[in-house]
Amino acid sequence: MTESLIASLLQQAVELHQQGRLEPAQALYRQVLQLDPQRFDALHLLGVIARQQGDAAGAVDLISRALGVNEAQANAHCNLGVALLDLGRAEEALASHERALALNPAYALAWSNRGNALRRLGRLDEALDSYQRALQIQPAYAEAHCNRAIVLQDQGRYLEALGTAEDALHIKDRYADAWLARGNALHCLRYLPEAVESFDRAIHLRPDWAEAYSAQGASLHRLGEFAAALDSFDQAIRHQPDYALAHYQRGNALRSLDRRDEAIAAYRAALAHGDNPETIAFALASVGAGETPAALPNDYVRSLFDQYANHFDQHLTEVLGYQTPAVLDALLRHVAPASELSTVDLGCGTGLCAPYLRAYSRRLDGVDLSQQMLDKAAERRLYDSLTCADLTTYLDGRDASWDLAVAADVFVYIGDLGPVFRAVYAALRPGGRFCFSVEAGDGADYVLRPSNRYAHTEDYLRRLAAQMGFTVLAMQSLDARQENGAPIAAHAFLLCK
């Protein structure tokens, strides 16, 4: 009689659960446990409901108890892994999914969820492989396509990410996550109106989604539609008041609208909600509301150029009229550089200087913070080595290694150039040359402009060169690039050790 009652209660509970009526289902599962505290199904499905209600810790406890009763259930291991990942316990989540797959190697959901755990652990190539295994088992698995698109986005493979997000949408059109993934890829490919439209589709399906509003605002901001961007960031914050990124982006939009005091308040709100203090310090400094930091945070610069890598060359040369590499080359040739030099390209980016430097370099090394920029530089096949590192860290310990060091449009991201000059001086051989460009400033030695780029004065650079032991061989003024249709004044220097 008891077993019959338990079976009936479980059947009713499962039906209610499938209908999304979680509380009455939960009450029936609990009734089952009063009759049989070790009933696997009731413990397991109560854990599933706990996670659906946002109680990941409760889910882990209940599903773990269920597995204590019967550890041979692949779906329970899979559900435990998802709850563990919710708690940030990615290694344990990965182990749970792998136990599920040991029990059922054809379990597409577990392969996809395993990919999610690997992504959280930063093991992106393995994550892609895991999603691919899920898709081999279940080709029309929209979630696996979408998750794969997110990882491709993380790797900077934006065109592939776009195609994979669209694969998900061909299977499941009303899929907010896939519309967001598609929008993010379009944004990074600079198809900005299409990105805004894609984010709109995501928001239509999930009207309270702060992340989608924030992403939409970023595309609108890049389009120059600052008021519309501000509205999107306001919507994001309305739905998630503690969303630090949206507060920071809102500050950027207000700064673009010349609403300085409101921008300062927005940046301070971002800091209060946990944003990176370094990021906020330079944002405040850029609107004159704080002490100028010595350099921009490495994470900011890396993220900026990771997103920029795919269209960097075209944007600089065709849109901004960038000519610094050619000017530095002319400056070097004016003083007749020797051939067969050992050269280091500091902040080499995609390698725009490489064709010039290769002409008189026996060996050419490049270093940059952005791996995705370096991947583009490698395609030129002009460098003997490429290293992803901070400049001073890279130069440290490499005394007397090069005859020539070049830094084209790099020091706009560093205010205090003392540590870099010191490191370059040590890394050069006697008679070695140091060629670089800066944006031209006046007044203070260096200032952080609203463009989030530093400008340096000629006097500061000459003083610093003398302090370090360099001789100034040549200096030339130039227009480095265009900004909002106006030329940006710059200086190019050639120093000698």
Is the model's pLDDT at 307 over the cut of 70? no
User: Residue 315 — very low, low, confident or very high, per pLDDT cuts 50/70/90?
Assistant: very low
Give the pLDDT confidence of 109-158 residue by residue, as tens digits: 999 999 999 999 999 999 999 999 999 999 999 999 999 999 999 998 99
What is the DSSP pairing of strand 446-448 with strand 454-456? antiparallel
If 0-12 CB within 10 Å is exposed, 13-18 middle and 19+ buried, where does residue 19 land?
exposed
pLDDT value for 109: 97
User: Residue 488 — very low, low, confident or very high, per pLDDT cuts 50/70/90?
Assistant: confident
Tell me the CB-side half-sphere exposure of residue 112, using CA atoms within 13 A.
Answer: 21
Between these two residues, 107 and 280, which has the higher pLDDT value? 107
Mean per-residue pLDDT of the chain: 90
pLDDT value for 295: 77
8 A C-beta contact, residue 65 and residue 44: no
Between these two residues, 429 and 311, which has the higher pLDDT value? 429
**Tokens (6 digits) for 153:** 């986005």
| φ, ψ for residue 438, nearest 5 deg | -140, 155
8 A C-beta contact, residue 368 and residue 349: yes
8 A C-beta contact, residue 283 and residue 251: yes
Between these two residues, 311 and 158, which has the higher pLDDT value? 158
pLDDT value for 319: 40
8 A C-beta contact, residue 199 and residue 209: no
Is the model's pLDDT at 288 over the cut of 70? yes
Is the model's pLDDT at 74 over the cut of 90? yes
Q: Looking at residues 181-196, what average pLDDT do you find?
A: 95
Of the chain, the percentage scoring pLDDT greater than 90 comes to 68
Give the pLDDT confidence of 421-434 residue by residue, as tens digits: 999 999 999 999 99
pLDDT value for 320: 42
User: Residue 27 — very low, low, confident or very high, per pLDDT cuts 50/70/90?
Assistant: confident
Cα–Cα distance, 156 to 142 (Å, whole number) = 21
pLDDT value for 96: 97
Residue whose tokens read 């996809």: 112
Is the model's pLDDT at 291 over the cut of 90? no
pLDDT value for 340: 84
8 A C-beta contact, residue 41 and residue 12: no
Between these two residues, 453 and 193, which has the higher pLDDT value? 193
Between these two residues, 423 and 18, which has the higher pLDDT value? 423
Longest dimension (CA), the chain: 100
Q: Looking at residues 67-84, what average pLDDT do you find?
A: 95
pLDDT value for 460: 96
User: Residue 449 — very low, low, confident or very high, per pLDDT cuts 50/70/90?
Assistant: confident
Is the model's pLDDT at 221 over the cut of 50? yes
User: Sign of the C-alpha dihedral, residues 343, 345, 351, 356?
Assistant: negative
Tell me the CB-side half-sphere exposure of residue 292, using CA atoms within 13 A.
Answer: 19
**Tokens (6 digits) for 99:** 């136990």
User: Sign of the C-alpha dihedral, residues 41, 47, 50, 52?
Assistant: negative
User: Residue 313 — very low, low, confident or very high, per pLDDT cuts 50/70/90?
Assistant: very low
Of the chain, the percentage scoring pLDDT greater than 70 comes to 94
Give the pLDDT confidence of 350-369 residue by residue, as tens digits: 898 999 999 889 999 999 99
Is the model's pLDDT at 303 over the cut of 80? no
All domains in the chain, ordered by first residue: 302-496 (3.40.50.150)
Q: Counting every residue, how long is the chain? A: 497
Partners of 116 in the β-ladder: none
Between these two residues, 389 and 317, which has the higher pLDDT value? 389
Q: Looking at residues 186-200, what average pLDDT do you find?
A: 95
> Which segment of 8-17, 136-145, 365-374 scores lowest on mean pLDDT?
8-17
Is the model's pLDDT at 205 over the cut of 50? yes
8 A C-beta contact, residue 275 and residue 263: no
Top-confidence range, 168-172, 189-193, 281-285, 490-494: 168-172
CB atoms within 10 A of CB 467: 11
Cα–Cα distance, 447 to 452 (Å, whole number) = 10
pLDDT value for 442: 87
> Which segment of 58-72, 153-167, 330-344 scores lowest on mean pLDDT?
330-344
Is the model's pLDDT at 211 over the cut of 60? yes
What is the DSSP pairing of strand 402-407 with strand 361-368? unpaired
